[in-house]
């Protein structure tokens, strides 16, 4: 018989509300986030060390502005040269893989967890978790939310306030609710 954690890792419906292992792991992560969020913004060394203990893997040269929230931490893999502005939320009930040179504006969220449409399943506490993958050189404007199972291709720019419900290809500018491709990036694109 599969554990609730094993069901989650396979993308099956699972219940994390009553499973002692998942409750303990989630509580530990939330305590670490709370500790991180209470550190002095000037204490770069301790902030760095705590994030390195919290997430599964993180590359060189990263900044995660406080506050930061996660569910488990051990499902998060982040590449080199990462920047997240204030209030990044990663509900990492499934694996979250983030490439190199990825930047998040404030109030962004990566949500691997979702709930079934079936009322009885949802009311019984069941949920699902699908992985999120973000390629290299992706920039998310403020208030972007990425939903379960989404892949964002390399070099893509996602406009502020977007709700990303479907995969985005490489080398595009995308925005909206739901997020859609606006156009392909061109060599002439420059900073405003």
Kindly list the distances between the CA atom of residue 116 and the CA atoms of 8, 183, 188, in Å, as whole numbers in the listed order.
13, 33, 44
pLDDT given for residue 188 in this prediction: 79
- Its pTM stands at 0.95
Contacts of 98 (CB under 8 A, 6+ apart): 76, 77, 78, 79, 82, 134
Domains in the chain (CATH in brackets) are 4-184 (2.160.10.10)
pLDDT given for residue 170 in this prediction: 97
pLDDT given for residue 187 in this prediction: 83
Burial class of residue 148, CB neighbours in 10 A (0-12, 13-18, 19+): buried
2-47 pLDDT, tens per residue?
999 999 999 999 999 989 999 999 999 999 999 999 999 999 999 9
pLDDT at 176 over 70: yes
As a whole number of angstroms, the distance between CA 47 and CA 37 comes to 9
pLDDT given for residue 189 in this prediction: 79
pLDDT given for residue 82 in this prediction: 98
pLDDT given for residue 192 in this prediction: 52
As a whole number of angstroms, the distance between CA 138 and CA 44 comes to 24
pLDDT band of 181, cuts 50, 70, 90: very high
Question: What SS3 string covers 26-82?
Answer: HHHHHHHHHHHHHCCCCCHHHHHHHHHHHCCEECCCEEECCCEEECCCCCEEECCCE
pLDDT at 190 over 90: no
Radius of gyration of the chain measured on its C-alpha atoms: 17
Could you confirm whether 86 is annotated as catalytic? Answer: no
């Amino acid at each position: 018989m599969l554990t609730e954690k094993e069901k989650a890792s396979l993308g099956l419906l699972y219940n994390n509300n009553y499973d002692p292992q998942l409750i303990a792991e989630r509580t530990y992560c939330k305590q670490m986030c709370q500790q991180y969020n209470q550190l002095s913004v000037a204490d770069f060394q301790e902030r760095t060390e705590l994030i390195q203990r919290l997430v599964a893997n993180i590359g060189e040269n990263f900044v995660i502005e406080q506050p930061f929230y996660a569910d488990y931490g051990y499902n998060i893999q982040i590449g080199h040269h990462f920047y997240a502005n204030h209030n990044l939320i990663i509900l990492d009930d499934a694996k979250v893989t983030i490439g190199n040179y990825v930047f998040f504006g404030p109030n962004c969220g990566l949500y691997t967890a979702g709930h079934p449409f079936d009322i009885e399943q949802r009311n019984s506490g069941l949920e699902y978790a699908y992985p999120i993958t973000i390629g290299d050189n992706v920039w998310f404007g403020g208030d972007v939310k990425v939903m379960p199972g989404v892949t964002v291709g390399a070099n893509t720019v996602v406009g502020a306030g977007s709700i990303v419900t479907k995969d985005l290809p490489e080398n595009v500018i995308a925005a909206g609710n739901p997020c859609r491709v606006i156009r392909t990036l061109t060599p002439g694109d420059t900073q405003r």
